């Protein structure tokens, strides 16, 4: 399939794997890229820029296809070594960066000077327009249903994607709630040039996470996610578990007075415990409502092959058939 996104990134299929903390390692990024999509390594999961350089080199050993790196800009007091991570990206010859979390304007000149395409992930049309205005090459538009941080506007993709299409000139990927061929065809119908998936890629054979995590996603329904940290205006969609229920009870009890320190036990240091050790009640970890559409654990190749075959059947069979009738 050819879209503005496949052309821009030099990939065969308009399907991207979003950056995911403690999931987006070289093994997954390479598997997605080898299957014709765009795999992404998550920079901040690597403790230092040197570790990121090693992860990039490892990925290059696993695929000769294009892959990218996610740079998430966090509003934290102790800023990660972003110049160091960017140096590792440039020296590692990576040509695609997914930015997220905050306006990437400060880092765009150095990325662009080095021939890197920047796709910025955002949750609002106004942020997407800002990204376009500052020179991002593409955006990922993340609807309210997404796993991770949906922002504070709560606009789902049935509205957000056509709104983005009305306003944007640069290509965009539909993100949040995407799982299969139906998602891809719908995203293209609403004006997107491809789709970005997070949760779906965790439940794949190559995702280097504990088996408990994959099984939890397969077992979950679309009713099993919760929104946490809304009172802190740092809303995150997570899979419900005992730790999350404890967190929500604290939010209810403390109301508007809640501070990050009050919930630190349920949010800090949770990812390695969940993703590496499979401690499923440890606390808040991002997961999308799309878990309700995930029923198996295929390889990335099987997943992407199936999506493309079924997308063709939907377009040529179901949709054209309706017109012919
Ligand atoms: C476990 C997990 C961790 C994530 N970590 C990050 C991250 O570190 N940086 C980022 O930009 N997005 C992160 N995301 C968001 C994804 O890149 C993607 O935008 C989102 O999962 C799309 O929604 P979906 O899960 O419904 O497909 C994460 C998502 C999940 C599920």
Q: Tell me the H-state helices in 92-231.
A: 108-113, 125-134, 157-167, 181-189, 199-202, 211-219
Identify each DSSP E strand in the chain by its residue range.
15-17, 39-42, 67-72, 96-100, 117-122, 138-142, 172-175, 194-197, 225-228, 236-239
- Ramachandran assignment for 270, one of left (phi > 0), alpha (psi -120 to 50 degrees), beta (any other): alpha
* C-alpha of residue 310 to centroid of ligand 1, in Å: 25
Which residue in 248, 243, 235, 296 sits closest to 273, CA to CA?
243
pLDDT tens for 10-67 read 999 999 999 999 999 999 999 999 999 999 999 999 999 999 999 999 999 999 999 9
Does a structural domain hold residue 29? yes
Residue 45 belongs to a domain: yes
Q: Would 248 be classed as within a structural domain?
A: no
Q: Is the CB of 288 under 6 A from ligand 1?
A: yes
What is the structure's pLDDT at 80? 95
Beta bridge partners, 119, equal: 98, 138
Residue 322 CA to ligand 1 center (angstroms) comes to 36
**Does residue 142's CB lie within 6 angstroms of at least one atom of ligand 1?**
yes
What's the 286 CA to ligand 1 centre distance in angstroms? Answer: 7
> With a 6 A CB cut-off, is 104 part of the ligand 1 pocket?
no
Question: Two tokens at 158?
Answer: 């049935």
Q: Tell me whether residue 81 is in a domain.
A: yes
CA of 321 to the centre of ligand 1 (A): 36
How far, in Å, is the centroid of ligand 1 from the Cα of 147?
6
Residue 227: inside a domain: no
In order along its 325 residues, the chain shows pLDDT tens digits of 999 999 999 999 999 999 999 999 999 999 999 999 999 999 999 999 999 999 999 999 999 999 999 999 987 768 999 999 999 999 999 999 999 999 999 999 999 999 999 999 999 999 999 999 999 999 999 999 999 999 999 999 999 999 999 999 999 999 999 999 999 999 999 999 999 999 999 999 999 999 999 999 999 999 999 999 999 999 999 999 999 999 999 999 999 999 999 999 999 999 999 999 999 999 999 999 999 999 999 999 999 999 999 999 999 999 999 999 7
Q: Is residue 134 part of a domain?
A: yes
Query: Which of 15, 16, 17, 20 most suits a substitution to test ligand 1, by most atoms within 8 Å of the C-beta?
Result: 20
pLDDT, tens only, 245-273 = 999 999 999 999 999 999 999 999 999 99
How close is the Cα of 243 to the center of ligand 1, in Å?
Answer: 20
Q: What is the pLDDT of residue 77?
A: 67
What lies within 8 Å, CB to CB, of 264 at 6+ separation is none
- Which pair of structure tokens corresponds to residue 247? 């967190």
Q: Give the position of tokens 């403690």.
A: 22
For 72, phi and psi rounded to 5 degrees?
-100, 125
Q: Which of 15, 16, 18 to mutate to test the pocket of ligand 1 (most atoms within 8 A of CB)?
A: 18
**Which tokens in the block code for residue 115?**
């021939």
Asked whether 287 lines ligand 1 (CB < 6 A), one says yes
Task: Find the CATH number of the domain harbouring 55.
Answer: 3.20.20.70
Is 149 within a domain? yes
Count of other CB atoms within 10 angstroms of residue 219: 12
Q: Cβ(94)–Cβ(68) under 8 Å?
A: yes
The CA-to-CA distance between both ends of the chain, in Å, stands at 26
Q: Which residues, 6+ apart, have CB-to-CB distance to 171 below 8 Å?
A: 3, 4, 5, 8, 137, 138, 193, 194
Does residue 64 form part of some domain? Answer: yes
Domain range enclosing 78 = 4-208
Number of domains in the chain: 1
């Amino acid at each position: 399939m050819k879209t503005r996104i496949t052309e821009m990134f030099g990939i065969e299929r308009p399907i991207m794997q979003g950056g995911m903390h403690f999931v987006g390692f070289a093994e997954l990024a390479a598997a997605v890229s080898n299957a014709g999509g765009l795999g992404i390594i998550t920079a901040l999961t690597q403790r230092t820029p040197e570790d990121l350089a090693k992860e990039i080199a490892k990925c290059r050993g696993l695929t000769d296809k294009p892959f990218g790196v996610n740079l998430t800009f966090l509003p934290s007091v102790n800023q990660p070594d972003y110049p160091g991570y960017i140096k590792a990206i440039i020296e590692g010859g990576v040509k695609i960066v997914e930015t997220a979390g905050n306006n990437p304007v400060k880092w765009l000149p150095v990325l662009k000077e080095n021939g890197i395409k920047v796709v910025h992930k955002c949750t609002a049309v106004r942020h997407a327009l800002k990204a376009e205005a500052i020179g991002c090459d593409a955006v990922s538009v993340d609807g309210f249903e997404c796993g991770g941080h949906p922002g504070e506007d709560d606009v789902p993709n049935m509205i957000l994607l056509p709104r983005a299409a009305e306003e944007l000139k640069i290509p965009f990927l539909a993100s949040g709630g995407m799982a299969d061929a139906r998602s891809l065809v719908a995203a293209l119908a609403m004006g997107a040039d491809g789709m970005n998936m997070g949760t779906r890629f965790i439940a794949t054979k190559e995702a280097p996470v504990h088996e408990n995590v994959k099984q939890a996603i397969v077992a979950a329904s679309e009713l099993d996610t919760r929104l946490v940290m809304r009172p802190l205006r740092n809303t995150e969609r997570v899979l419900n578990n005992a730790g999350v229920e404890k967190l929500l009870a604290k939010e209810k009890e403390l109301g508007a007075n809640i501070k990050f320190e009050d919930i630190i036990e349920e949010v800090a240091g949770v990812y390695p415990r969940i993703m590496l050790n499979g401690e499923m009640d440890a606390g808040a970890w991002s997961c999308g409502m799309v878990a309700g559409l995930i029923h198996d654990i295929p390889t990335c190749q099987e997943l992407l092959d199936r999506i493309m075959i079924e997308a063709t059947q939907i377009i040529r069979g179901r949709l054209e058939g309706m017109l012919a009738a």
